[in-house]
Amino acid sequence: MLFRYRILLLFIVALFTAWILKNRVLFEAYTQVIPGTQVKFTMVPIPGGSFLMGSANKKYSDETPAHRVEIEPFWMGTHEVTWDAFELFLDKNYETAISEGPIGQVVDGLSRPSLPYLDMTFGMGKEGKPAIGMTQYGAIQYCHWLYLKTGIFYRLPTEAEWEYAAKAGTESTYFFGEDADKLSEYAWIGENSNESTQKVGSKKANPWGLFDIYGNVMEWTSDQYEADFYERSPEKNPQNPSIKLYPRVVRGGSYKHKAEEISSARRFQSEPKWKQLDPQIPKSQWWFPEAPFLGMRLVRPLNPPSPEEIKAYYTKAPIDDY
């Protein structure tokens, strides 16, 4: 009798172990292939920890006060999202044409961007180049599309997560120190970009393996911009969810910014005038025809929220813009 129970127990333990192993999430760098296509991108683990957010900068008072913040672990895209991936989301017919096999019923029902009437590459090219000009809503819907295709909860970084990842354990102005002249080794900026976006990953990465975290294109965060937010921001995983359409936080500077305008702590904000060249009313919920310097980078939290919270994140209705 006893022996039979022991066998049974062993069997149960073995099953359980197998289940654990199968479902264990390894907190390591990985490559995400967009199912059915050759398109892929890489994510690196950003360990949880605490850091000094903001700066004592007198020039940009919205960076003050510098304050200690705790961040939960997450993965972050090593590169800014490129047109190669974003265009699959943008155009269902294109995704269908390029994919092996059907793109899936759920994905079929997704709300996708209105195809932009204007050339949203602004003559700066697509292949390997950052996708640009999308609204925060469009950036989140891209994450939604990826979630439906992969089952993985991708989202935008909070402002705090972005800065934590950019600083990568440093407390200097740049992750490489204080010398703005060295920025050109790490970033496409006003001084070296020839007024254009450049292929992602063609400069040196930061200590945590993030390319183009400064320059090339500014990157969306999920936060509302408020100049005085640091005076009251919570210590753990601070975020300031966007309620108003403008201004929202974008980070990192771009190919148009001068070295002196860029740093790990520098906060930029979205502006209504980025849509002034949209000749339609209501203005597009998807595109900024005058923000060729704006792109996005993905984040995946190690501990994803509940399915209900994920659904709420992706299905938040856009705000009319006129």
Q: What is the dihedral of CA 122, 124, 125, 129, to 10 degrees?
A: -110
Tokens of 35: 């199912």
Exactly one of 13, 15, 94, 228 binds another protein (CB under 8 A); that residue is 94
| Residues in 275-304 that interact with another protein by CB under 8 A | 276-282, 292
Judged by beta carbon, residue 18 or residue 277, the one nearer another protein is 277
Q: Draw the binding track, 242-281, toward another protein (x: CB under 8 A; -: no contact).
A: ----------------------------------xxxxxx
What does DSSP say about strands 218-224 and 294-295: parallel, antiparallel, or unpaired?
parallel
List Cβ neighbours of 322 (8 Å cut-off, separation of 6 or more).
281, 282, 283
Distance, in Å, from the CA atom of 81 to the CA atom of 130, rounded to the nearest integer, reads 6
Eight-state DSSP code of residue 62: G
Collapsing DSSP states into helix, strand and coil, what is residue 144?
Answer: helix
Judged by beta carbon, residue 36 or residue 54, the one nearer another protein is 36
The minimum distance between CB 287 and another protein, in angstroms, equals: 12
- Whether the bond into 65 is cis, omega within 30 of 0: yes
Candidates 91-99, 133-141, 160-168, 239-247; binding stretch for another protein (CB under 8 A): 91-99
Distance, in Å, from the CA atom of 270 to the CA atom of 287, rounded to the nearest integer, reads 12
The minimum distance between CB 116 and another protein, in angstroms, equals: 8
Q: Which amino acid is at 267?
A: R
CB under 8 Å, gap of 24 or more: what pairs does 13-20 form? Answer: none
Please state the length of the chain: 322
The minimum distance between CB 90 and another protein, in angstroms, equals: 7
Judged by beta carbon, residue 83 or residue 174, the one nearer another protein is 83
**How many residues bind another protein, per CB under 8 A?**
30
Distance, in Å, from the CA atom of 62 to the CA atom of 266, rounded to the nearest integer, reads 9
Q: Draw the binding track, 48-87, toward another protein (x: CB under 8 A; -: no contact).
A: ---------------------------------------x
| Residues in 96-155 that interact with another protein by CB under 8 A | 97-98, 114-123, 125-127
The minimum distance between CB 315 and another protein, in angstroms, equals: 21
Q: Which residues bind another protein (CB under 8 A)?
A: 87, 90-91, 93-94, 97-98, 114-123, 125-127, 276-282, 292, 320, 322
